[in-house]
Amino acid sequence: MKLDVDVLRYLSKDDFRVLTAVEMGMRNHELVPSELVVRIASLKHGGTYKVLKNLLKYKLLHHDSSKYDGFRLTYLGYDFLAIKTLVNRGVFVAVGRQIGVGKESDIFEVAKEDGTILAMKLHRLGRTSFRAVKSKRDYLGHRNNYNWLYLSRLAALKEFAFMKALEEHGFPVPNAVDCNRHCVVMSLVQGYPLVQVKQLQNPDIVFETIIGLVVHLAEHGLIHCDFNEFNIMIDDDENVTMIDFPQMVSVSHRNAQMYFDRDVECIFKFFSKRFNLSFQEHTDEIDGSEVDTEEYDRPCFSSIAKCTGFLDKELSASGFTRKDQDEIEKFIEEGIEKDTGSDDEGTADEGRNSDEFDETNIKEFDSLQLLEQPERVNCDEKGKAEERQQFCEAGQSCGRETQDTSDKEEEANETGNEDNAELMHRLNKQRRRAVAAVHGRRKTLTSRNSYKDKGGKSSHNSKIQKQLSGW
């Protein structure tokens, strides 16, 4: 999307307030509901809907009503938020022409108040030319869900941090000025991309300088991973400057050697094709095999001494630690391959082992307590024995009482059988009266909306039941 900064002049404070409200809502919404935008913006007299209509006209927001009425920021709206913040900070006061386009970013010229020209890089991840960000870059980390705007912000923060650290350690990189959201402001390199250069006065010196930078980065614990003619700037004096740092990884990464060899191979290929730099390759066939000899020795990743610095640890560059890498290599050597079902069984076995371990620890701890406090344990055992004896005596007494009551009941039954039929009839009549009285005390559960039946069938039936119970 083309950046038209002229629209920025006509946006009011309410417009930026609504844009900020949509940005805040996108933290946990793919499409921010219109009610949430109104609630966050808190504009008076329902002015939020008018502002939303204005922002849609300038394509700063995208409206979608397929599932519900919602809005989301576009890259142009995100650009305006970042530019407005940097202008308020006084980083620059004007935006100029576009000087570069890449698969992940756009670069513009910006001017400070004193006329100094800077470079503004706007990260734009998610283009159709480069959408395999999750597999090619490590911006996400452990996250599963992501948004292109959020990924662009992570890439900008990472590049700004690497640029600052490399500048402090003397690497030829642009001067990092400021960063906000997905925007990075840096000094403008007075030079040309190496891919646009057709001739060099000293190509061998430039080649050695570039290869030295690759080795020097590895000595500090970092690998560029995209070190080619597109990310190397060279000026009229043939001074080299590195650019583009978001994809840098640590030398402890599991694929560090592959990335290092790929960067070196890109430089060798480019200089051999573009500048006809002869490496004096001689192929001698010995027993059917070819032996190559070169004037310039290729740097070997394993022979680089990685003790100059620890920038990968300071900047938390992506990559596994040495301990993790050793465990993975050991796992591969053993050739253990488990399915999901076997993984579940392994976790269950681990749980059992941990339980057994805990039980053994508890038993050992109890045995230690028994050894340390024998007198106390004996007292406790005596007390428990006395309690058991009392309980047995109480049980015997309870058993005797139950036997006495059962004998009495049998005698009562025998006497009851001996009574005449008239006495049994009276007892049954009293029992029925008691049951009817109990049922009469219960209240029926009725709903609130049910009306009271006055003089109807229900009242007539209740009267009959009372009369029967009185009999």
Enumerate the active-site residues. Answer: 226
Kindly list the distances between the CA atom of residue 192 and the CA atoms of 160, 239, 266, 365, in Å, as whole numbers in the listed order: 21, 11, 18, 74
Q: If residue 57 lies in a helix (H) or strand (E), which one and from where to where?
A: helix 47-57
Q: In what order do the strands lie in the sheet with 232-234?
A: 192-193, 232-234, 240-242
Residue 211 backbone phi and psi in degrees, to 5: -65, -35
3 state SS for 387-413: HHHHHHHHHHHHHHHHHHHHHHHHHHH
Q: Which residues of 196-235 are buried (b: 16+ CB within 10 A; e: fewer)?
A: ebeebeebeebbebbbebbbbbbbbbbbbbbbbbbbbbbe
* CB-based contacts of 271, cutoff 8 Å, min separation 6: 203, 207, 277
What is the pairing mode between strands 192-193 and 183-187? unpaired
Burial class of residue 440 (count of CB atoms within 10 Å of its CB; 0-12, 13-18, 19+): exposed
Structure tokens at 214: 């690759």
* CB-based contacts of 243, cutoff 8 Å, min separation 6: 173, 174, 189, 231, 232, 233
Question: How many residues does the structure list for the chain?
Answer: 471
Residue 168 backbone phi and psi in degrees, to 5: -65, -25
Structure tokens at 123: 């990260």
Side chain identity at residue 380, one-letter code: D
CA dihedral 192, 195, 201, 202 (to 10 degrees): 110
Instruction: Say if CB 251 and CB 306 are below 8 A apart.
Output: yes
Instruction: Say if CB 175 and CB 167 are below 8 A apart.
Output: yes
Place of tokens 């910006």: 110
CA angle 163, 323, 221 (to 5 degrees): 25
Strand partners, 318: 249
Kindly list the distances between the CA atom of residue 441 and the CA atoms of 115, 130, 290, 319, 434, in Å, as whole numbers in the listed order: 97, 80, 108, 78, 11
Whole-number Å distance between alpha carbons of 381 and 102: 82
